[in-house]
Amino acid sequence: MAFTSITTATFIFLLLLLASTHASNEVENNEPMLTDMGMGRQKLTRFRVYWHDTVSGSNPTSIQIVPPPLKSGFGQVRMIDNLLTTGPELSSKTVGRAQGFYALASLGDISLFMSMNFEFVGGKYNGSTITVQGRNPVFDKVREMPVIGGSGLFRFARGYVEARTQWFDLKTGDACVEYNVYVLHY
C-alpha cells in the first residue's frame, strides 16, 4: 500500500509541475518577439571597395606569420592590415582597412581561407566594421564569401561579398582586389 501512495503522490506532483510549467510558457509566449528588438526594419547596403595587398617593399601590409611546410605553399598564413580604397589605384581615397589573416588552405588548388574585418575610417560608416570569412579560390574570376557579422552601423550584419582580382604582380606578389559588398543590417 505504501508504494501505491508514493506513486500517487509523485504523479500528482508531476501533474502540478507540468501545469505550472505550461502556465509560465504561456506568459513567455505573450512577450514580444526578440528578433525585432525595437531596432526597426533591416536595410540592404551595397558598396564597393578596393583591397590592396602589399607584400613587397619596406612597408608591407601583408606579412607571412607561418611559413609553408610544403613546396606547394599549403599551410602558409599571412596577417594583413590592407588598405581599402574607393578605386583600384593605391592613391585613391582611403575608406578603411582590412585586418585579419588568410591562409593557403587547399591541397588541390590555390584557395585561401580568409578571416578579416573591414574597418571603416571615414564617411557615414566611420567606426563601423563588417566581418568577412570564407573560402577564396583566387584564380576564379568571381569569388563569393559570406559576411558573418558587423559592428556600429552594421550591427547584426549578414550578407556576402564578391571579390574580383583587378591586378596581381607575379614579380612582387602585390595585388588589388575589388570587393562588392551586399550586407543586411539594422
* Assigned domain for 22 exists: no
Domain membership of residue 12 (yes or no) is no
**Local structure of 91: helix, strand or coil:** coil
158 band by pLDDT with thresholds 50, 70 and 90: very high
Sequence-distant (≥ 6) Cβ neighbours of residue 66 within 8 angstroms:
75, 76, 77, 103
- Which of the two residues, 2 and 178, has the higher pLDDT score? 178
Residue 11 lies in a domain: no
Report yes or no on 138 lying in a domain.
Answer: yes
pLDDT in the model for residue 79: 98
What's the pLDDT at 33?
Answer: 41
**Residue range 162-168: average pLDDT?**
98
- Domain residues for the domain of 63 are 43-185
pLDDT score at 11: 52
Note whether residue 65 is domain-resident: yes
In which band, very low, low, confident or very high, does the pLDDT at 185 lie, cut at 50, 70 and 90? very high
Q: What is the pLDDT of residue 123?
A: 87
Grid cell 562588392 is found at: 180
**% the chain with pLDDT above 90:** 73
* Cβ-based neighbours of 85, under 8 Å, separated by 6 or more: 49, 50, 52, 92, 93, 94, 95
- State which amino acid sits at residue 4: T
Q: Which three cell numbers stand for residue 52?
A: 590592396
104 assigned to some structural domain: yes
